[in-house]
Structure 1
Amino acid sequence: MYKLSSVAWPLIQAEELAALLGEGRAPVVLDVTVLLAPARFDGDYRPESGAAGWREAHVPDSRHVDLLAALSDTGRTLHFSRPPVGRLVEELAELGIGSGSDVVLYDQGSMTWASRVWWLLRSVGVDARVLDGGFARWRALDLPIATGDDAPVRPPAAPLHVTAYRPAWADRVDVTAIVEGRAPGTLVCALAPAQFSGAEKTRYSRRGHIPGSRNLSAKSLLDATGRLRSVDELRVLAAAELSDSESPVVLYCGGGISACLSALGLVVAGRDDIRIYDGSLEEWTADPALPLVTLPGGEL
């Protein structure tokens, strides 16, 4: 299901953001970096705040948001789950984000964390933009860099009035219904092929993928500069896996983060029937009764 999107363009180039900052028309710029080391063994999950790296170097006038403590549901055992919508609105207001706010998100990695927050904000009606190529692209262009503390918060011009999330998310019940053939939908794993097959160590309880899933690696949607591929390239990649897909397309990964980068790529390509399985494999693999599939060369 492809059509021209009616939402705001979800990307901003580094040069464009630098021009806005230089003209004194700065949007709300948030660094949402989280550090997540590769698994040394199955179940090795070690997220760390990116605040220290932000203080050493960041886009001028930006603030760091620690997703370990904000814009996530810290009351759940699952990491980085979306928070109750009322709390999200309150936290956004504290960051200067309200109705009509111009928001730019970036991270110091491969755009996955920025994409996660972009999807979260999109699901409550805030059309944020992701810095294409992230901070790496900013530095590669030798654009101005700041150090030190947060920029002052500018109160939003208008409050954000939201009482519920848009239908942008899927849960375990939804995914189970698709697996069992009781509901329409196409499951797509955004992890790398070796993680999809089960060949690589996983941060979660068990290796493999949810039965019936297709594989569209989030990282495959980026070019050599770390930016999203062109619209035409994204459509070709999506068509290779999704040309005969049944709607909705439910994206998942390990913890609902990389899946949002895949969502970003698909939205840019014109796809509009996307859901994110928020619990992803962290939730699915924790229940030994739920099935997983490994491919030849993978391991249980």
Structure 2
Amino acid sequence: MTQPSSLISTEQLASMLGDPHLRIYDCTTYNEPVPPGSDVPYRAVPGDKTFEAGHIPGADFLDLQGEFSDAAAQQFFMMPGIAQLEAAFGRHGIDASKTIVLYSIGTMMWATRFWWMLRSLGVEAKVLDGGFDKWKAEGRPVEQGAPKGYPPSTFKAAPRAGLFVDKSVVLAKRDDPSTVIVNALGPQFHRGLEPSRYGRPGRVPGSRNVPAATLVNPADKTLTTLADAEAKFHAQGITRDKHVICYCGGGISATIDLFLLTALGYDKLTLYDASMGEWAKDTSLPIETD
């Protein structure tokens, strides 16, 4: 198994710096804690300050919650309408003719979230393996300061149906033998052994557990090998003939599972966008614990 075509190494990106068709974006957001009893599970803070402190030369910054999410939704990071996304991506110089490289700090999940969003709009992007952490650890060039941005472009979406689903689809599919529902949260949350910041502890009944954290190498924050990922998915009964619905807490870390499933050739994939941020709070929906 070779490197996924949507994954780019730090070495490959370094060799491309200065290419006029290259577009690099820091996608980092931070989920900061909130006081107990708060109506929200965390506070979504854009990573603009860490971007200003250091970023890959020429990169722009994308504010997921501020520009690329549905501000009217009850959950953070919900996929907004096509018109909002076309305008926002266009403002940042993104279109299908460019080589788009996405990265984030601390975890690759913010970059893979944008990758999944763009994929759903018919535009392919690449994710930097190991993100800014690996880039910086290798002593590669770093710029400071606010984003200079790229010349705006015309972003025209070619939406792909079914890459995002809501709770009604998850509820209808949870007993469907042709579908497997995958929880990307840690095992303690999947099993309901610890309190959940999203509401009721536990999982969507019948869902399998492939934690996103187990698909990443902790030493350098790169993705695990395709062989290891496939073994982990197979161990949970996730095979290519199944329709796979992934979820997590807020529709972010599950995109690491989706990224690797895509790289492995799975093609019936979707994301439950609202994830446990919605499911755990809605007492009309069933929940399961060990």
Using the size of structure 2 for normalisation, the TM-score is: 0.91
Please say if residues 39 and 201 of structure 1, whose CA atoms lie closer than 8 Å, have aligned partners that are also in contact. no
Match of 2:151 in 1: 154
Where has structure 1 moved over 4 Å in runs of 4 or more?
38-43, 243-246
Please say if residues 30 and 46 of structure 2, whose CA atoms lie closer than 8 Å, have aligned partners that are also in contact. yes
1:138 aligned to which of 127, 135, 138: 135
Q: Distance in 1 between matches of 2:168 and 2:34?
A: 28
**What is the deviation of 1:50?**
1.0
The equivalences for 1:28-47 within 5 A come to 28-37=23-32, 44-47=41-44
1:192 aligned to which of 161, 181, 186: 186
1:240 aligned to which of 213, 235, 238: 235
Task: Please say which of residues 222-231 and 117-126 is displaced more in the overlay.
Answer: 222-231
Long gaps (5+) in structure 2: none
Match of 1:52 in 2: 49
Distance 1:118 1:226, change over 3 A: same
Give a deviation string over 1:205-229, Cα, whole Å, max 9, x none.
2211010100000111112321111
**What is the deviation of 1:103?**
0.7
Match of 1:298 in 2: none
Q: Distance in 2 between matches of 1:72 and 1:259?
A: 17
Match of 2:197 in 1: 203
Please say if residues 39 and 202 of structure 1, whose CA atoms lie closer than 8 Å, have aligned partners that are also in contact. no
The equivalences for 1:40-119 within 5 A come to 44-119=41-116
Secondary structure at the aligned position of 1:103 is classed as strand
Match of 1:254 in 2: 249
Q: How many residues align?
A: 287
**What is the deviation of 1:178?**
1.4
Distance 1:70 1:231, change over 3 A: same
Q: Distance in 2 between matches of 1:165 and 1:90?
A: 18
**What is the deviation of 1:25?**
4.2
Q: Distance in 2 between matches of 1:245 and 1:268?
A: 12
Match of 2:208 in 1: 214
Q: Distance in 1 between matches of 2:29 and 2:210?
A: 23
Give a deviation string over 1:103-139, Cα, whole Å, max 9, x none.
1111112101111110000001111111101111111
Distance 1:37 1:200, change over 3 A: farther
Please say if residues 101 and 126 of structure 1, whose CA atoms lie closer than 8 Å, have aligned partners that are also in contact. no
Secondary structure at the aligned position of 2:236 is classed as helix
Query: Considering only aligned residues, what root-mean-square deviation do their CA atoms show, in Å?
Result: 2.3
Q: Distance in 1 between matches of 2:252 and 2:26?
A: 15
**What is the deviation of 1:20?**
0.7
Using the size of structure 1 for normalisation, the TM-score is: 0.89
Match of 1:10 in 2: 6
Please say if residues 184 and 248 of structure 1, whose CA atoms lie closer than 8 Å, have aligned partners that are also in contact. yes
Q: Distance in 2 between matches of 1:211 and 1:230?
A: 29
1:168 aligned to which of 163, 166, 189: 163
Secondary structure at the aligned position of 1:188 is classed as strand
Please say if residues 122 and 159 of structure 2, whose CA atoms lie closer than 8 Å, have aligned partners that are also in contact. no
